[in-house]
Amino acid sequence: MVQATQTMTRPDPGSGGAERVLEIENLKTHFFTRDGVVRAVDGVSYHVLKGETLGVVGESGCGKSVSALSVLRLIAKPGRIVQGSIKMSGRNLLDLSDREMRSIRGNDISMIFQEPMTSLNPVLTLGRQIAETIMLHQGLSKKDAWDKSVEMLKLVRIPEAERRVTEYPFQMSGGMRQRVMIAMALSCNPKVLLADEPTTALDVTIQAQILHLMLELKEKLGTAIVLITHDLGVVAETCQRIVVMYAGKKVEEATADELFERPLHPYTVGLMKSVPRLDRAAVEEQARLMEIPGMVPSLKNMPPGCAFAPRCVFATERCRIEEPGFEMKAGGHFAACFNSDKVAETYHG
Amino acid sequence: MYAYLIRRILATIPVMAVVAVFVFSLLFLSPGDPAAIIAGDLATADDIARIRERLGLNEPFLVQFGKWVFNLMRGDLGVSIFSNLPVSKLMLQRLEPTLMLTSTTLVIAICAAVPMGVIAAWKAGTFIDRGVMLFAVLGFSFPSFVLGYLLIYTFSIKLEVLPVQGYTSISKGFGPFLNNIILPSLTLGMVQAALVARMTRTSVLEVLAEDYIRTAHAKGLATHKVLIGHALKNAAVPIVTIIGVSFALLIGGAIITESVFAIPGLGRLTVDAILRRDYPIIQGVILVFSGAYVLVNLAVDIIYTFLDPRIRF
Ligand SMILES: Nc1ncnc2c1ncn2[C@@H]1O[C@H](COP(=O)(O)OP(=O)(O)OP(=O)(O)O)[C@@H](O)[C@H]1O
Ligand code: SF4
Ligand SMILES: [Mg+2]
């Protein structure tokens, strides 16, 4: 049973007092593999405000998916959450029993995945898959849950929802399937929707449609979205706040406007340079994240000091010895860099 | 859907035709004069001539085959050389024990093996998984007649809780029937269970790594619902396939098991017929067993369509 939730409203200094619906603190998720410990998420903290869209960006392998899966406690062996807390309505999800946790999944927090082609069960009808969630969490009868499924399909604008609901995933395109995933994820009015690269696998034209659909439904249902992506272009258009991750750690956090205006971490600058923005010159359009010189360091044996140092043009002797702390550099703008002043100077005069 | 079914049903016809040709040729493929073979070692030339006449062996091969097929269509499988009784009647008398033995075995094997395989996959790498795999290896490699005698020794002779041998018709009550059938079924089912458990584990393990299983967990479903409702249904096609294919093993095993437990079924009839070179019976038995195999695999194909919508359309 879901407990009667005592809403511990904690006003947020930089955000007009909006309630924090999810608060991740110092989360560490490690994979204990045969050849060493992979520190996929290594001390990440972020919070999600009620009804906002939070962007989590970073290169492939920086721990975005693992941190999201950790929130739902869906990390499989050899992975384990070794430290931290994940709070929702004052409760630490890491302290809940499996049963209590199941009543959160798909209900208070739901998730959609990158791969729409494989994330739906191929042998069950769409209706069955959506209705299952609704019956589980809202205790509706089969008939009512089925009706609600049709309603949800209509909400995500699937044409002929009454007929489609009896069909199977293989009868639909990737974009349609992702709509179905969204319908399923939103069917129980979650407080938080974790969207893990929801549009990456789709055609560019479909990407925009799906993004807009998500944002529209977010407004309608008051769901907060954590939009995980490696595409800064996407977050620029959609998010109020942005968290930048690098090698399992958070390196920068600010409002979207502030971040794009005045990035304070060299890594963020690198990301922006390599990503097309609507207002940027078309020359850069083809460039992608991968093109920051150098590689993400092996998460198994991180060098001492700043993890970005081997790839950083601003790196000094100190960066290779000491790890920069994650500090507030300006009102509501945080970064983990010794030389963020220089970064700011270089890029913003 | 219907097109698929009709196609599958039609596809059984050539298979059965090949079987029929093979079965009919059996008599002629064996070295020597069929009549002499049937007549046996002590027969006189007269006996052989009589048999030739009776079986119509003097007529051309194709005519013989035509007549044989024609009779087959009417359910006439010929007459036993040894007892002079119609083969169809002899087989019908022996059908029930074999049918009950094989179906009980299948039910027991599947009911034991599928959950074992699912649990092994779910607990992959743990000692539960290793236990199931050990069972699968042993069950497959342990000779069934040895297992049969071991079971008889333990339960019938030492513990004296179950009868040593024999068969009681289910029409005489379920209890007595079960008493008699349980040991033979365990004996016969071991190989089946081992195969099915192994296939279930492999198949479910593969499915558990799929993205939609993660989705099912993310919805908040309990583990058993994920395993049964989402994983098993996807894993079912190879499992059902192996059940169909291993039906041949079941038939072969039934012949041995019926001998060990003195069950008066088709298996015993077959063994006796082989020993007496009663060819019409051997032909009849092979036809029936092959037909059963084809039917079971047709059923498997039909079951596929319920398991996987992608096959249906
Ligand atoms: N089962 C696992 N065993 C070992 N390491 C793992 C496992 N799952 C993830 N990792 C490691 O965790 C790190 C973070 O992975 P994660 O999937 O969170 O990256 P990501 O930021 O989502 O990247 P992408 O953009 O490619 O989705 C990766 O370096 C990966 O090697
Ligand atoms: S701390 Fe040093 S190495 Fe790390 S990002 Fe800043 S300047 Fe670069
Ligand atoms: Mg990912």
Cis peptide bond upstream of A78, omega within 30: yes
In short, whether A233's Cβ falls inside 6 Å of ligand 1 is: no
Residue by residue, DSSP assigns B94-146 as HHHHHHHHHHHHHHHHHHHHHHHHHHHHHTTTSHHHHHHHHHHHHHHHS-HHH
Nearest CB among B212, B220, B310 relative to A121 is that of B212
Residue A235 phi/psi, 5° resolution?
A: -70, -35
Judging contacts by C-beta atoms under 8 Å, the chain A residues touching residue B238 are none
DSSP bridge partners of A249: A246
Residue A208 CB: number of other CB atoms within 10 A?
A: 14
Instruction: Identify the closest residue of chain B to A72 by CA–CA distance.
Output: B218
Q: Could you give the 3-state DSSP secondary structure of residue A214? A: helix
Q: Does the beta carbon of A105 lie under 8 angstroms from any beta carbon of chain B? A: yes
Ligand lying nearest the CA atom of residue A290: 1
How many degrees, rounded to 5, is the angle at CA B303 between CA B136 and CA B184?
40
Considering only residues 257 to 316 of chain A, which have any Cβ-Cβ distance to chain B shorter than 8 Å? none
Residue A26 CB: number of other CB atoms within 10 A?
A: 11
Q: Give the side-chain half-sphere CA count within 13 A for A57.
A: 29
> Do residue A74 and residue B218 have CB atoms under 8 angstroms apart?
yes
Q: Order the strands of the A249-255 sheet from edge to edge.
A: A109-112, A192-196, A224-229, A53-57, A241-246, A249-255, A333-335, A327-330
Whole-number Å distance between alpha carbons of B190 and B144: 8
How much is the pTM? Answer: 0.85
Ligand lying nearest the CA atom of residue A248: 1
Instruction: Identify the closest residue of chain A to B222 by CA–CA distance.
Output: A102
> Kind of pairing, strands A20-33 and A36-49?
antiparallel
Q: Does the beta carbon of A190 lie under 8 angstroms from any beta carbon of chain B? A: no
DSSP bridge partners of A242: A55, A254
pLDDT at A293: 61
Contact A293, A284 (CB under 8 A): no
pLDDT one-digit tens code per residue, A153-199 = 999 999 999 999 999 999 999 899 999 999 999 999 999 999 999 98
pLDDT at A101: 95
pLDDT at A280: 40
Contact A336, A251 (CB under 8 A): yes
- Cβ contacts of B42 within 8 Å, gap of 6 or more: none
Q: What is the ipTM of this complex?
A: 0.86
Whole-number Å distance between alpha carbons of A195 and A91: 22
Nearest CB among A105, A123, A168 relative to B219 is that of A105
Q: Give the side-chain half-sphere CA count within 13 A for B299.
A: 12
The residue assigned the tokens 């045969």 is A34
Nearest CB among B218, B220, B309 relative to A123 is that of B309
Residue by residue, DSSP assigns A80-110 as EEEEEEEEETTEEGGGS-HHHHHHHBTTTEE
- Cβ contacts of A103 within 8 Å, gap of 6 or more: A1, A2, A137, B220
Contact B193, B139 (CB under 8 A): yes
- Cβ contacts of B248 within 8 Å, gap of 6 or more: B293
**In 3D, which of A193, A236, A200 has the Cα closest to residue A218?**
A193
Q: Which residues of chain B have pLDDT under 50?
A: none
Residue B174 CB: number of other CB atoms within 10 A?
A: 10
pLDDT at A25: 94
The residue assigned the tokens 């035709």 is B17
In short, whether A69's Cβ falls inside 6 Å of ligand 1 is: no
Domains belonging to chain B, first-starting first, are 96-312 (1.10.3720.10)
pLDDT one-digit tens code per residue, B1-47 = 778 888 888 988 898 889 888 888 877 776 666 677 667 777 778 88
Q: Could you give the 3-state DSSP secondary structure of residue A333? A: strand
Tell me the nearest-neighbour CA distance from A316 into chain B, angstroms: 43
Whole-number Å distance between alpha carbons of B291 and B288: 5
Residue A108 phi/psi, 5° resolution?
A: -85, -35
Q: Which residues of chain A have pLDDT under 50?
A: 1-15, 276-290
- Cβ contacts of B154 within 8 Å, gap of 6 or more: none
pLDDT at B157: 86
